[in-house]
A and B are shown apart, each in its own frame.
Chain A
Amino acid sequence: MVRFSDALSAAQRWFQSHRDDIPTGAVVVRDLFGRIRIALPPAEPSAFPSAWLTELHATLGAYSPGPENILLLGQDMMAPDAIFAAPDLSPIDPDKPTGLRLLDRVVTGADWLRSQFANQPPCPARATFYGLKGGVGRSTALALFARHLAAQGKRVLVLDLDLESPGVGSLLLPGEKFPSAGLVDWFVEDAVGQADEGLLEYLTAASPLSSDLPGEIRIAPAHGYNEAAYIPKLSRVTLDVRRGANIEHFADRLNRLIEALETKLKPDAVLLDSRAGLHDVAAIALTRLGATAFLFAAHGDQTWQGYRLLFRHWQTHHEVLPAFRDNIRMVDALVPEQFRTEHRAAALAAAYTLFEETIYEESAAESTAEAFNFDMNDLEAPHHSLPIYWRGIFQGYNPVEARNAVSDAEVQASYGQFLRPAERLLFGSAES
């Protein structure tokens, strides 16, 4: 029986055995079911010996669409550009960028491999707070980072993109201070052309967390005050919308929303609280928005195994990595109160193993380009995690409602080694 991953390998082997006779520009299309077809560009000869196609069909098993459907001829198609000019075309073998190309049709997750948006400068510093698994103190760290920046006089805009599990809004705003609309409102209104300047007014509110500071924290929560239709709105957020002749994807719409808020509010920093897990919002927030990506990890097999699934995906498409890999930084999210030194060493080693085995490049002596590789103890390396020292006082800590429950000194003791380097990553030099 041919399984999902075997099918693509089988197609590659078939291609190798006939490569001299297959025209340049041929594309392997893997459809939403994982079935494989070979597409020939419109200008190319129209046929292969049927024996070749029968042979390919036989090697693909259930992942063949049938011998009569396995070959797609561009010259016969209604929309050949949808294949041959598709933005998602990538080399099937990343080491051979001019070789056979793959068009992978997927239901979700295409954004993990799409390029960064080219936003118009001046852009504020953007940072994404992400944890492959939730419950690691990501939102609390974000709130304290926002406060840290506001203490330097920075204007900080926080977006709660954890739409399926909103939280940072409540962390930064008492219930009665919520704005009248939330991010989900923008998406449903935008789909019918009503996301105007007026709506932007109602999307954010100032957080009391910065009331004693020279800077300001504004938050755009997932939902507005007294929301009663959240699920019906949320369930429509990721819609792709046609704009004239083009389809605007959810990622494009999210980027447009962030740009509109940046233009309006002129923040120095935009902090995005991303959905956990391998979710589309995370794909966009980590790879497409040009944000510094803080990857929160609670040391443990589950965490590293999960990150490995993601990093292996990037590894097999490493042509897209250079655009954002410099922006990645691990965060050692729950350093325990005891055995800290041992914990740090183990977490660092695990992170290094992950990076070394996946997205770090081998140093190639003959290559002129500098390889993306770091020493395990390089303090600036993406894998070199910034520690957050867990203490019981932060359990259930609400920095707005009970700020005095934890002193600034205690915040610094637990979060200082995260806050200051994180600020440096965003702004170049620490001012504190």
Chain B
Amino acid sequence: MPTSYKDSARRHVSDAEYLWISGSQPRFPNASQLFGMSAECALKAVLIGLGLPTKPDGGVDDHKKYGHLPRLWNEFATYAAGQLGGRYAGLLPGSVGAALPFSSWDVSDRYATDSSLAPRNAEFTNHRSAARDCIALLELAIQDGLPI
């Protein structure tokens, strides 16, 4: 399967927004899942643009913890270097201050009970805002001409 993190980042974020602007709480948990997926894909796309090796299908070796949020944040922060890497790492949301925007995000929340998800609206709002920042980072990298 040919992989495009750029395409999937944009696809996930627009679907997430679709759920989010429907405006009802029961849609927010899945919107949050997609915001997180979108952020993951955006960060992977930028990392590839900065030189992260890929497999022949265009994907990265992500059968690893760091391929996913919130760990991916950490790998981005330590991989980036030089003027080019610094341009994006400096804009990475959550770079300043202790709380990382996706620290509470977990891909396995898709199995969670409704009752455990209902009180987490504030977190989901943060996920939305952080995903938008990651997409902005991706769009900047594309406009800069990075090979993504």
Q: A and B: real partners?
A: yes
Contact status of A69 and B100, CB under 8 A, knowing A37-B74, A242-B51: yes
Q: Which of B6-25 contact A (CB under 8 A)?
A: none
Residue in B64, B79, B84, B98 whose CB lies within 8 Å of A240 = B84
Are A73 and B65 in contact, CB atoms less than 8 angstroms apart? yes
Mark B48-74 against chain A: 1 for CB-CB distance below 8 A, else 0: 001111000000111011110011011
- Are A79 and B52 CB-contacts (below 8 A) given A66-B100, A69-B100? yes
Is A405 interfacial (CB 8 A cutoff)? no
A249 proximity list for chain B (CB < 8 A): 82
Q: A78, B73: Cβ atoms under 8 Å?
A: no
For residue A365, which residues in chain B have a CB less than 8 angstroms away from its CB?
none
Cβ of B113 within 8 Å of any chain A Cβ, yes or no, is no
A1 part of interface (Cβ distance < 8 Å): no
Residue of B53, B78, B95 ringed by the most chain A CB atoms within 10 A: B78
Known: A66-B100, A242-B147. A72 touches B78 (CB 8 A): yes
In the bound complex, CA of A245 to CA of B79 (Å) = 16
* A-contact 0/1 string along B11-51, CB 8 Å cutoff: 00000000000000000000000000000000010010011
Interface presence of A76 (CB below 8 A): yes
Q: A41 to B95, alpha carbons, bound, how many Å? A: 25
Residues in chain B near residue A108, CB distance under 8 A:
82-83
Is B81 interfacial (CB-CB < 8 Å)? Answer: yes
Is B131 positioned at the interface, with any CB of A under 8 Å from its CB?
A: no
Q: Are B103 and A68 in contact (CB under 8 A)?
A: yes
**A binding-site residues for B, Cβ under 8 Å:** 29, 31-33, 35, 37, 39, 65-66, 68-69, 72-73, 75-79, 82-83, 105-108, 110, 238-240, 242, 245-247, 249
Compute the total of residue contacts between A and B using a CB distance below 8 Å: 90
| Residues in chain A near residue B61, CB distance under 8 A | 78-79
Q: List the B residue with the shortest CB-CB distance to A247.
A: B51
- A66→B81 contact, CB < 8 A: no
A107 to B89, CA, bound (A): 10
Are B62 and A105 in touch, CB under 8 angstroms?
no
Known: A78-B64, A110-B81, A240-B84. 6 other contacts (CB 8 A): A65-B77, A68-B70, A78-B44, A79-B47, A79-B52, A238-B83
State A72–B96 Cα separation when bound (angstroms).
Answer: 19
